[in-house]
């Protein structure tokens, strides 16, 4: 079944124009409307006063220009009556001897409504009040106007499509720069997509400021934001415009044009209306803001429809789907994010050690990524508190599956970090325990595996009691999601520093620490650990002494599970949509049937293992997702996953 999954393809365009030549300008606008409609875009935004050009200046006082602008709007609407796309175009409009800077919404030959600009810049290079009147008063008084014998909705308008839960609001250029932009009121009244026809000239560093404004406002409004800026074909008498076009969603720039482009500019992306709806549902402050706002504007709702069904077409999908949603794509951002996470982990552990008065920290070191990160956090914490690293009881506990590689890495790391290193071989105790419970040591089942994990935890807990210390947990967020931990084994600790860090991010964190925090010899060991396959090492190694038990062979690739985790927990997405996005993100790496198989595994484990998450030790939240039963995630341990699994059945 073909679905939209809540996505709507939108476009932002900056056309070639000739100042004051309305006939030429609507021809260029029509070209871009037809191009966007053919590409499957359903909404397109054009710049401020695009029908006349923004830089007409005193020509806005000429009746000839104003009459032609009005006629050009009707002409453009008529020429595009065969198009399903909804377009926002802009023109000067004279009403009762007052001139307004307006945005008109047209679709299938109809002018659905007209919205006037509220805030008129009249400082430095801007003189808009010389020609225009603010639409604030008339928007409060009027709800429609008559143009050429037609009655057209006018003023405070929302454009709503019930079928796809799309509500469009419009603000114009300077409106965005106001202390409280009109889009804030539009969003509180239901708008989930804001369109801004703009003519913002270029100055040094202004583009970056403009970009931040759009990011911030789309985040505050929890909305999509389509910004269309006037281009280089505006008059360059005193100013230059760049044709800056952006499409944003909830604080993220989805697509951005190159500036100063010669020729028509158009960009595309998909706005995820379902995702915005989920975000607003979660964010109770958004709803409270609406309830408390005493000066809410009243908006007239204009209904519109699409004659063609909205679909999310994998072959015509412009939105970039990042395969690692927990890891920023920009290297500089990764560095800043890793430093911040490391500091959060350190601050959390430091507070717990100070509060409990623990004299020491006790931590099991396996030579794997998770325990390595936990040890590095503990070392940084003790340095921060001015406590000797010798008060860190770092214990390696080789068992039946321990390989020389992980053992040597663990020992070398502990020595280089100058912690108090101890080694306790768990094999004798485990063999005795198997004898006590009547378990055959040759039967390598779940009992065989879990008793080793519980033996290690018992050792750590008992030593912590002995030295008046605190057991530092090593398990990560991905393991908690999948339940890949032994209940009351490695599942348990006295403070869990990695509980908010997903597996895909653990690797980046350890690499960042290697590159930025530790000395050269330690860096070399950390790089060896980064390259080690992920394994609990509870089953004996192969004949060559290499790791036989590789976690990802059994539960699936962590990069997939982290992707699933992000969209399932963060946005409550339905399985079909998660699968669609995963197929887009990993299309060059995994077959669709493979992704579907591991997604079913994810849902099965995520539901069946909730009982472990219901009994988690304390630990810091570091990102947008946490599975703490006391904080972000409160789920019954006996919930049934049937309807989620069923949603995936028959899709391939």
Residue 441 token pair:
């040591």
The CA distance from 454 to 83, in Å, is 66
The CA distance from 497 to 476, in Å, is 8
The answer to whether the annotation marks 123 as part of a ligand binding site is: yes
Q: In three state form, how does the secondary structure of 355-390 look? A: HHCCCEEEEECCCCHHHHHHHHHHHHHHHHHCCCHH
Question: Which residues form the catalytic set?
Answer: 48, 117, 173
Q: How many CB atoms lie within 10 A of CB 279?
A: 20
The answer to whether the annotation marks 200 as part of a ligand binding site is: yes
The answer to whether the annotation marks 479 as part of a ligand binding site is: yes
Q: If we measure between CA atoms, which residue out of 44, 99, 35 comes closest to residue 70?
A: 99
DSSP code of residue 154: B
DSSP code of residue 330: S
Strand 224-229 to 193-198 pairing: parallel
Sheet of 252-256: strands edge to edge? 252-256, 245-249, 224-229, 193-198, 166-170, 157-161, 300-303
CB 90 within 8 A of CB 227: no
The answer to whether the annotation marks 589 as part of a ligand binding site is: no
The CA distance from 514 to 523, in Å, is 5
Residue 193 token pair:
């997509």
The answer to whether the annotation marks 474 as part of a ligand binding site is: yes
The answer to whether the annotation marks 484 as part of a ligand binding site is: yes
Helix (H) or strand (E) holding 92: strand 86-95
The answer to whether the annotation marks 206 as part of a ligand binding site is: yes
The answer to whether the annotation marks 100 as part of a ligand binding site is: no
The CA distance from 376 to 22, in Å, is 66
Q: In three state form, how does the secondary structure of 265-324 look? A: EEEEEEEEHHHHHHHHHHCHHHHHHHHHCCCCCCCEEEECCCCCCCCCCHHHCCCCCCCC
Beta bridge partners of 253: 248
Residue 195 token pair:
């369109």
The answer to whether the annotation marks 450 as part of a ligand binding site is: yes
Binding-site sequence positions for deamido-NAD(+): 450, 479, 484-487, 612
Residue positions forming the annotated binding site for ATP: 364-371, 474
Q: What are the binding residues for L-glutamine?
A: 123, 200, 206
Q: Which residues does the annotation place in the binding site?
A: 123, 200, 206, 364-371, 450, 474, 479, 484-487, 612
């Amino acid at each position: 079944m073909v679905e939209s999954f809540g996505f709507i393809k939108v476009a932002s365009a900056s056309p070639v124009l000739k100042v004051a030549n309305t006939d030429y300008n609507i021809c260029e606008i029509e070209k871009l409307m037809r191009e966007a409609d053919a590409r499957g875009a359903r909404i397109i935004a054009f710049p401020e006063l695009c029908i006349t050009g923004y830089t007409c200046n005193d020509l806005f006082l000429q009746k000839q220009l104003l009459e032609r602008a009005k006629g050009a709007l009707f002409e453009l609407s008529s020429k595009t009556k065969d198009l399903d796309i909804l377009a926002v175009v802009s023109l000067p409009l004279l009403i009762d001897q007052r001139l307004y800077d307006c945005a008109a919404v047209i679709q299938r030959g109809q002018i659905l409504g007209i919205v006037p600009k509220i805030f008129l810049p009249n400082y430095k290079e801007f003189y808009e009040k010389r020609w225009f009147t603010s639409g604030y008063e008339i928007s409060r008084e009027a709800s429609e106007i008559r143009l050429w014998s037609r009655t057209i909705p006018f003023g405070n308008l929302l454009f709503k499509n019930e079928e796809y839960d799309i509500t469009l609001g419009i603000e114009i250029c300077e409106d965005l720069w106001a202390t409280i932009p009109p889009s804030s009121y539009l969003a509180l009244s239901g708008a989930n997509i804001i369109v801004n026809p703009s003519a913002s000239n270029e100055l040094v560093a202004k583009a970056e400021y403009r970009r931040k404004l759009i990011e911030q406002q789309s985040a505050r409004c929890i909305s999509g934001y389509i910004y269309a800026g006037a281009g280089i074909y505006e008059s360059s008498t005193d100013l230059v415009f760049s044709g800056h076009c952006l499409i944003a969603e909830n604080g993220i720039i989805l697509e951005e044009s190159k500036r100063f482009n010669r020729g028509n500019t158009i960009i595309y992306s998909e706005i995820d209306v379902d995702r915005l709806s989920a975000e607003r549902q979660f964010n109770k402050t958004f709803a409270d803001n609406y309830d408390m706002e005493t000066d809410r504007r009243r908006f007239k709702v204009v209904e519109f429809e699409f004659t063609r069904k909205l679909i999310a077409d994998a072959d015509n999908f412009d939105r970039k789907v990042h395969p690692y949603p927990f890891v920023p794509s920009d290297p500089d951002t990764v560095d800043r994010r890793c430093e911040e996470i490391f500091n959060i982990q350190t601050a959390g552990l430091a507070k717990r050690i100070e509060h409990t008065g623990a004299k020491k920290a006790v931590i099991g070191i396996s030579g794997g990524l998770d325990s390595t990160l936990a040890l590095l956090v503990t070392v940084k914490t003790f340095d921060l508190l001015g406590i000797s690293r010798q008060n860190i009881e770092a214990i390696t506990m080789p068992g039946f599956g321990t390989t020389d590689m992980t053992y040597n890495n663990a020992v070398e790391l502990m020595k280089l970090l100058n912690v108090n290193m101890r080694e306790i071989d768990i094999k004798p105790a485990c063999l005795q325990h198997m004898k006590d419970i009547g378990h055959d040591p040759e039967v390598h089942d779940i009992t065989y595996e879990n008793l080793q994990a519980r033996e290690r935890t018992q050792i750590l807990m008992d030593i912590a009691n002995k030295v008046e210390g605190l057991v530092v947990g090593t398990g990560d967020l991905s393991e908690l999601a999948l339940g890949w931990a032994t209940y009351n084994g490695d599942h348990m600790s006295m403070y869990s520093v990695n509980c908010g860090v997903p597996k895909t991010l653990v690797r980046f964190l350890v690499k960042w620490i290697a590159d930025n925090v530790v000395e050269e010899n330690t860096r070399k060991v950390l790089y060896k650990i980064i390259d080690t396959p992920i394994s609990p090492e509870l089953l004996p190694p192969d004949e060559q002494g290499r790791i036989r038990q590789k976690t990802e062979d059994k539960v699936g690739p962590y990069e997939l599970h982290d992707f699933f985790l992000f969209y399932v927990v963060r946005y409550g997405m339905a399985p079909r949509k998660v699968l669609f996005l995963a197929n887009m993100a990993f299309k060059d790496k995994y077959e669709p049937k493979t992704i579907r198989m591991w997604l079913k595994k994810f849902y099965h484990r995520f539901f069946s293992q909730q009982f472990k998450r219901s009994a988690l030790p304390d630990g810091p939240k570091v990102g947008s997702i946490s599975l703490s039963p006391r904080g972000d995630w409160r789920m019954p341990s006996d919930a049934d996953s049937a309807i989620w699994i069923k949603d995936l059945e028959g899709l391939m």
